Structure 1
Amino acid sequence: MRILLADAFPDASRAELAQRGHDCRYEPTVTTEDLPQMVPGCEALVVRSTRVPAAVLAAADSLRLIVRAGSGTNTIDCAEAARRGVYVCNVPGRNAAAVAELALGLLLAIDRRIPDNVTDLRQGRWNKKLYSQARGIQGRAIGILGLGSIGLAFAHRAAAFGADIYAVAKANRDPATLDAAQAAGITFLDSAATLAATCDVLSVHVPGGESTRGLVSQDLLAQMQPGAILLNTSRGDVVDEAALIEAMDSKGVRAGLDVFQEEPAAGTGAIDSTLARHPNVYGTHHIGASTAQAQQAVADGVVEIVEQFGAGTLLHCVNRPLESATAPVDSVT
């Protein structure tokens, strides 16, 4: 297949695709605005952060497959792709460990005020008295919103620190998730509001999209305890940013955030975010999945999807109903 790789992709995985007979065009710095000129003639498009709106799909004359090199597909117009007969597949779970590690790192950084320690030391200030004031993670009540692969990975890591882990009970959880939750010692509560009121740390691991936009709302933040910690390594629009700022100002809520509503689409640029500048926020640059281990694991998943597609099978298709994780391509209408 003729494949356009429109984001960074490991050299070894590009070589593997070429060895398997695919014609790969590598454009790691391409922008969404550039894609309509590049996508004609391509049968497959692989993206990570680059958005794929309807205008790109309208310009694609040969496209059959879009692979999101990650789990979330909210940057792709999946409905328009389906209308045009283009399958959208993702690579779920492969970067779970990396995102969970960052979420835990943000929690530790907030609790021990690690960035402030570093800043003061670099400026010649010694303040052991101030920085000795920390609660620690052991015995903390940590609530998790979203028990997918990332939420479960975070739960296991937080439990290893001796935290008590909670999540929201759902009637339709699959047996594998329930088994993993039991292994992590997760206690289920009846609602997100109860979770926020019970826990002094709330970590968000839900997919982006209409169903989760504004999930961390003013009402939910009102249930959080004074001085509680919010972690968000999912999508920026999951959090009502104005309501979070109000909660930080009114009752000292602290936040560890890897994502923001107004973050630049490119790898570098300027960001004008009132939330990111707030003194109660420890922020990172949407780097949750950006470890070498995670990127290679995701790339391996991309290669697998491309190969299976060529063999007539879809893996992890998100823009049509599926009875299982795989289905024959020629059975799709």
Structure 2
Amino acid sequence: MRILVADAFPDEYRAELAAYGHDCTYEPETTAEELARALAGHDALIVRSTAVTADAVEAADSLRLVIRAGSGTNTIDRDAAARRGVYVCNVPGRNAIAVAELTMGLLLALDRSIPDNVADLRAGRWDKKRYSRARGIHGRKVGVVGLGGIGLAFAERAAAFGADVHAVAKPDRDERTLERARAIDTVFVDSLDELARTCDVLSFHVPATADTRMLVDRQLLSQLPPGAIVLNTSRGDIVDEDALIEAMESNGVRAGLDVYADEPTSSTGTVTSRLAKHPNVYGTHHIGASTEQAQHAVAAEVVRIVTAFTAAAPSDAPPHCVNLDALEQAALSSPTSTTSGGGP
């Protein structure tokens, strides 16, 4: 296959794809707007942060497979891909530790005002009196919203620092998740509102869905105690950013954020987010999964998906396909259309 790699991807895994006989075009600086042009003649696309719009999918003349080298696929128009018979796959779970580490780093940074410490020292200012004020992590009640792989990894790290972990009880959790949660003495409460009232740290690890959009709204934020901390390393659109700014200004809420509603769709750009610039926010550049360890684990799984796709029968979906239902619906609504399937 001809594969366009439109974001950073480790050299050795591109070499592995080439060793399997694939022709890889490596254009890691490709923007969302340039993608339609760049996709010409390519059978597969590998992206990380670059958005894949309906226009890009519809302009592609050979595309059969899109792989998001990460877990979330909210930056990919999956329905547009389905209409063109294009499989969309992700790589779940391989970056969980990296995101959990960054979330823990944001919590520590907020508690000890680490970025402001550094900025003042670099400017020649010494203010030990100001920076000696911190609550510490030990004994704090940390609410974890979303006990998937990332949420559990963060919860375990928070517990190792002596925090009391809380989460919302759900009847359909699998036994393995419950075992890990019980191992760190997780306290379960009945609702998200109760979690907000109970905890002075809320950390969000949920996918971007219709149910989670604007999950962090004025009503939820109003339940938080003064000076509470909100952590979001999942998706920007789960937060009502205006409501969060209001809570920061009226109730002293602080936030550690890696994602924003209007962040650039490419690896570089201009930040216009009013939330990101707020003094109560310590923010990073959507880098939760960007450790060397995580990227190697993700890249290895991308290679496995490509290999499985090329070896599959035409009717077989590749691993981690996230738009299979939409593909089936598209096929039913248009009897002449079929999914492209595997094969070299």
TM-score (norm 1): 0.94
2:30–2:266 CA contact under 8 A, matched in 1? no
2:336 is aligned to none
1:315 is aligned to 319
* Count of equivalent residues: 325
Q: Match of 2:200, as an amino acid?
A: D
Once the two structures are superposed, what CA deviation does each residue of 1:178-222 show, in whole Å capped at 9, x if it has no partner?
222222322211111111110000001111232211010110000
Q: Distance in 2 between matches of 1:31 and 1:249?
A: 35
Q: Distance in 1 between matches of 2:160 and 2:68?
A: 31
Q: What displacement does 1:100 show?
A: 0.6
1:291 is aligned to 291
2:44 is aligned to 44
Q: Match of 1:243, as an amino acid?
A: A
2:144–2:151 CA contact under 8 A, matched in 1? yes
Q: Distance in 2 between matches of 1:185 and 1:88?
A: 38
Q: Does 1:139 align with 2:143?
A: no
For 1:214-225, list aligned pairs within 5 A.
214-225=214-225
Q: Distance in 2 between matches of 1:307 and 1:295?
A: 18
Once the two structures are superposed, what CA deviation does each residue of 1:228-272 show, in whole Å capped at 9, x if it has no partner?
000011111111011001111111001111111222222222212
2:32–2:265 CA contact under 8 A, matched in 1? no
Q: Distance in 1 between matches of 2:302 and 2:277?
A: 36
Once the two structures are superposed, what CA deviation does each residue of 1:285-304 show, in whole Å capped at 9, x if it has no partner?
11111111111111111011
**The residue matched to 1:203 in structure 2 has which SS?**
strand
Q: What displacement does 1:273 show?
A: 2.0
Q: What displacement does 1:330 show?
A: 6.6
2:211 is aligned to 211
Distance 1:12 1:330, change over 3 A: closer
Q: Match of 2:201, as an amino acid?
A: V
User: Equivalent pairs: percent with the same residue?
Assistant: 66
Q: Does 1:192 align with 2:192?
A: yes
Q: Distance in 2 between matches of 1:184 and 1:20?
A: 44
1:56 is aligned to 56
Q: Match of 2:177, as an amino acid?
A: T
Q: Distance in 1 between matches of 2:140 and 2:306?
A: 43
Q: Distance in 1 between matches of 2:271 and 2:5?
A: 26
Q: Match of 1:40, as an amino acid?
A: A
2:143–2:199 CA contact under 8 A, matched in 1? yes
Q: Distance in 2 between matches of 1:34 and 1:273?
A: 23
Q: Distance in 2 between matches of 1:110 and 1:16?
A: 41
**The residue matched to 2:222 in structure 1 has which SS?**
helix
Q: Match of 1:178, as an amino acid?
A: L
Mean Cα displacement is larger for which, 273-282 or 97-106?
Answer: 273-282
1:76 is aligned to 76
Query: Please, which runs of 5 or more residues in structure 1 have no aligned partner?
Result: 323-328
Q: What displacement does 1:34 show?
A: 1.5
Q: What displacement does 1:321 show?
A: 4.3
Q: Distance in 1 between matches of 2:280 and 2:50?
A: 30
